Structure 1
């Protein structure tokens, strides 16, 4: 307690004189992308070098893991705006080194009060996804600003003013456009061009910003300054919120555009009533570890947790590479069957979270796995309330599509506090709508709802409703051993987030693969479908042929996920780890490489 108090006093003394002049990434104009960093004093891992550098600067100046996580998230809203920003939402998992407690913040977007089960139905038929995505209709009430406020209030030592200031400076000063940023604009150029505010920001002169050029976002800088000065009331009850509501209700469509852009029904009252509640995390005991994740409305904690429980009875470290992957894929298939049937917003239905995470239920599902043959097609869910050995209940429910362009950051500080934070605006570029004069994109998160029941005749817990939060696959995860953190991680990737986190966890915990190698390893994602998505490098390996012989079927996809992680080393140092190549490679940083 004394150490924490002294540290807080020192932090407050250090921050005041240093922040205005130096708490930016200006010390390194183009910070490098490095997939691994080891050192003392804390670590940061994100997809972006500027954002990670800002996080390390915060830690170096006395901020804790939450202070740094908010600063990194705000910076990602500048440099990774097509995946995250204040127009979206997310989930934050926090480990408190003083209390040894894991807590979570639910910053998931909510539907307007006027929404009903037919939100995306017209004339008795579901709206085409592409039309729903690029619209005001798909925009949920953003949760990211309230998440920052909640996390700083609960566990931070810096004010919102201090934590957001580095990102404001970055937005005003600008950053160097890389190939990923350019590609993301180019891939969305057709729909960005149909909104006056979006094309003015991201298509200057009618073309995406060139690689190597400097990109500045003064409108976003001004918005951050407004939030710093006036607090989150400016967003949820003030000028920023007023402009947001106007953009949803009357999207700034370019005159002459032929795209049908539906308006949304989000109101100022919807914004004003938004809350980012604290929720109890999910928890499963796996080997000699406690694995904590995000509870519903995220399906990440329950689905990954159930899969780990299914795998518990098998010594994955002693299995052959083929049998390890076979069991990983089959456990994923089963847990997704149960996720699709049972998980939704717990405020709108009885989600059996405890039962889904019980070892008894997992054992009743694990007996369906054969070591010599893969299951074929989609399997039916089990009944977690009345599990029977190898029993199933009802018809299989398919896994609906979710946008893959999310981002994740992971932070640990000198005191041992840890944050795993996944945030998103859903699709790459979200709804495509930049709020005029405010510099940030709005989410299309409501398309994570089922447009109609996924399987006719089967109850669907993920249909839209007033104030309801759509089911998510975000899986920010913290792993403890003997009450102390040993690993924290997460990933973007839509529904593949869950399998990505599960694959890295089992490689690291069961097969003792070094963390960077576990992250870089080729991936496959089975989500209760006839075919398993896999990366080309996975399909080129010898294991893929052996898995096919067991009955697995594969389809190729370019990339799955983009993990960031941290782990505690036995000598007290921290390791930050990120991707080596996916999404251009990640950015790991340590405060002090040596003591």
Structure 2
């Protein structure tokens, strides 16, 4: 079974300056040359690309994201007295401007929060939901009675659009933990959208990758392919429609999105996609109705928790499979002293534990509102002990492995159940992640997405944001036994795995990543690199990666293949070079994280090279 699963320039300078405070009156514009005030897309003005620093060490608070403008927005909130939640929402809103092909108000995500005052980790599930009229055969082409081709046909569609949860998540997080209003949190991103930002190679390449898809819609083509061309590297890209949308939401609240004037416009774009005349793609229409937007609710959830080498590792519970799968793999791996093993041996065990945890993910995890997810069993040390019996330190399991039996286990070695498992899903490898710590010790780890790079490809006309294609994370063909089957009002299973690690009740580490189902293995490998293999957090993030999702082949980045393939092959592994089916790159994930050390010393880390490199910053840099 197959799953289908980036005002004037002076105002921008004033809004985003963080190193020396607000820009003084009379500061030079941020770009050379004029920028007209009402035009979407790129201007001819050239401007230097903002610097990206992948690592920052200091105190007083920190932000890490994939984008320097977004990181600066969040850091400025911290400098002005906002807390981690205030900064996280402001950063996420800015990512909706500068990283629109990975995140935005047309999508959803998972927000994990540690409160310094209470010592508690809590989460918000802002996952998209299927419309109430979503049929079980929604992904079947009525002309052929076979599933739509996943890419580009199904992902470029109205039928793939779920009810967005991002705005509801922002509002809920701010009301629960923030000190600022949603309107205040949207203000920096609104200025950024109106003034524009400097186009980098990643932004341009993502437009070029989506040229056919974006060209299928009048509204999307108008914004991202003006004159038929992708924005040039170094030009300034502006989105006044999105600025106006943010302003409307700031004035009227999320009701404008879920119940007000935006709602019927979103529904219209889904049910009657704004295609060009005679599009080259079929663009199946969707089933969304205004009542689906009215009925959307984010969900407060208890986090998952496992103990690992004296630490408490908290993650995201279902509808995400991130916390349960990372947690189960850690429970299996805790039985081995990885720090004392040769690197190849430790990586072998990591890959084996991943395969076992993914087998159980596929068999048991779905939306808990509609599926009885045996979460306590999946996170049980006894269950992990029984699963670990299958691991041979000197040989590789025949894959795919069967799921374990959660109805009867005692920690003793037993044979496989024979439960059929699925190949890895095609949950898209984009998405974005951010990490924030404030001066009081509050922590936010937040992963948000619109799924496919560019989501559904549909920009809501005159509103400046892309809609998700998150429903492609459901299984393509309906199977009543599949926990990830299509159902009305259901949340599709996700792999997002925002994770916070506590030591003696205090936050030690927070990390997360995009990457579709490779998110789970990316987060797991970073944790092992940092906690077991002696790497610093920046080194743990930068290290080459491999992913094992219960398939015969281990897929890995080229540097991993070069360093470790020979040793793993000797243990029976089949290691091949990973290639993203959507982007053609060989990169796995694009993580961010922050470590909290002694005396509140913060190490904020982002990718040094993956996806163009990320951006980390601290309020007060450590003085050498």
Same fold, TM-score > 0.5, yes or no: yes
Partners of 1:24 and 1:167 within 8 A in 2: no
Which of 73, 77, 83 lines up with 2:92 in the alignment? Answer: 73
- Does residue 1:549 correspond to 2:570, yes or no? yes
Matches within 5 A, 1:170-209: 170-209=192-231
Which of 379, 396, 414 lines up with 1:390 in the alignment? Answer: 414
SS at match of 1:346: coil
Instruction: Give how far 1:377 is off.
Output: 2.1
Distance in structure 1 (CA, Å) of the matches to 2:255 and 2:553:
47
Distance in structure 1 (CA, Å) of the matches to 2:409 and 2:473:
29
Distance in structure 2 (CA, Å) of the matches to 1:467 and 1:292:
27
Deviates more, 1:387-396 or 1:411-420: 387-396
Kindly provide the CA deviation profile for residues 155-201 of structure 1, in whole angstroms up to 9, marking residues without a partner as x.
Answer: 00000011110000000000000000000000101110110000000
Distance in structure 1 (CA, Å) of the matches to 2:407 and 2:177:
36
Matches within 5 A, 1:290-439: 290-387=312-409, 389-393=413-417, 394-439=419-464
TM-score (norm 2): 0.90
Which residue number corresponds to residue 147 of structure 2? 126
- Does residue 1:494 correspond to 2:524, yes or no? no
Distance in structure 2 (CA, Å) of the matches to 1:113 and 1:180:
37
Which residue number corresponds to residue 24 of structure 1? 16
Kindly provide the CA deviation profile for residues 54-97 of structure 1, in whole angstroms up to 9, marking residues without a partner as x.
Answer: 00000000000000000000000000000000000000000000
Give the superposed CA RMSD. 1.5
Which residue number corresponds to residue 539 of structure 1? 561
SS at match of 1:537: helix
Which residue number corresponds to residue 55 of structure 1? 74
Matches within 5 A, 1:107-256: 107-123=126-142, 124-130=145-151, 131-256=153-278
Partners of 1:405 and 1:424 within 8 A in 2: yes
Kindly provide the CA deviation profile for residues 441-484 of structure 1, in whole angstroms up to 9, marking residues without a partner as x.
Answer: 0000000000115xx7x821001111000000000000001111
SS at match of 1:151: helix
Instruction: Give how far 1:300 is off.
Output: 0.1
TM-score (norm 1): 0.94
SS at match of 1:309: helix
Partners of 1:412 and 1:566 within 8 A in 2: yes
Distance in structure 2 (CA, Å) of the matches to 1:391 and 1:234:
55
Distance in structure 1 (CA, Å) of the matches to 2:128 and 2:185:
22
Which of 256, 263, 288 lines up with 1:266 in the alignment? Answer: 288
Kindly provide the CA deviation profile for residues 93-147 of structure 1, in whole angstroms up to 9, marking residues without a partner as x.
Answer: 0000000000000000000001132221234422221221100000000000100
Which residue number corresponds to residue 12 of structure 1? none
Deviates more, 1:381-390 or 1:340-349: 381-390
Which of 92, 111, 114 lines up with 1:92 in the alignment? Answer: 111
Partners of 1:90 and 1:107 within 8 A in 2: yes
Distance in structure 1 (CA, Å) of the matches to 2:399 and 2:339:
28
Partners of 1:47 and 1:578 within 8 A in 2: yes
Distance in structure 2 (CA, Å) of the matches to 1:152 and 1:571:
28
- Does residue 1:443 correspond to 2:484, yes or no? no
Kindly provide the CA deviation profile for residues 468-518 of structure 1, in whole angstroms up to 9, marking residues without a partner as x.
Answer: 000000000000011110000000000000000000001101112011111
Deviates more, 1:578-587 or 1:257-266: 257-266
- Does residue 1:573 correspond to 2:601, yes or no? yes
Kindly provide the CA deviation profile for residues 508-567 of structure 1, in whole angstroms up to 9, marking residues without a partner as x.
Answer: 0111201111100000000000001100000111x2201011110122120000010001
Deviates more, 1:383-392 or 1:248-257: 383-392
Instruction: Give how far 1:392 is off.
Output: 2.1
Instruction: Give how far 1:391 is off.
Output: 3.3
SS at match of 2:331: helix
Partners of 1:316 and 1:511 within 8 A in 2: yes
Matches within 5 A, 1:29-48: 29=30, 30-48=49-67
Instruction: Give how far 1:23 is off.
Output: 4.2
Partners of 1:366 and 1:390 within 8 A in 2: no
Consecutive unaligned residues of structure 2, counting only runs of 5 or more, are 1-10, 24-29, 31-48, 579-585
Consecutive unaligned residues of structure 1, counting only runs of 5 or more, are 1-18
Distance in structure 1 (CA, Å) of the matches to 2:617 and 2:406:
42
| Moved >3 Å (runs of 4+) | 19-31
Which of 497, 511, 515 lines up with 2:533 in the alignment? Answer: 511
Give the count of matched residue pairs.
573
SS at match of 1:505: helix
Partners of 1:404 and 1:427 within 8 A in 2: yes
Partners of 2:71 and 2:91 within 8 A in 1: yes
Instruction: Give how far 1:575 is off.
Output: 1.1
SS at match of 1:551: coil
Distance in structure 2 (CA, Å) of the matches to 1:256 and 1:25:
46
Which residue number corresponds to residue 593 of structure 1? 621
Partners of 1:306 and 1:335 within 8 A in 2: yes
Kindly provide the CA deviation profile for residues 232-263 of structure 1, in whole angstroms up to 9, marking residues without a partner as x.
Answer: 00000011122111100110000132321111
Distance in structure 1 (CA, Å) of the matches to 2:264 and 2:620:
44
Distance in structure 1 (CA, Å) of the matches to 2:274 and 2:347:
48
Deviates more, 1:364-373 or 1:393-402: 393-402
Kindly provide the CA deviation profile for residues 269-304 of structure 1, in whole angstroms up to 9, marking residues without a partner as x.
Answer: 000000111000000000110000000010000000
Instruction: Give how far 1:20 is off.
Output: 11
SS at match of 2:179: coil
Distance in structure 1 (CA, Å) of the matches to 2:154 and 2:187:
35
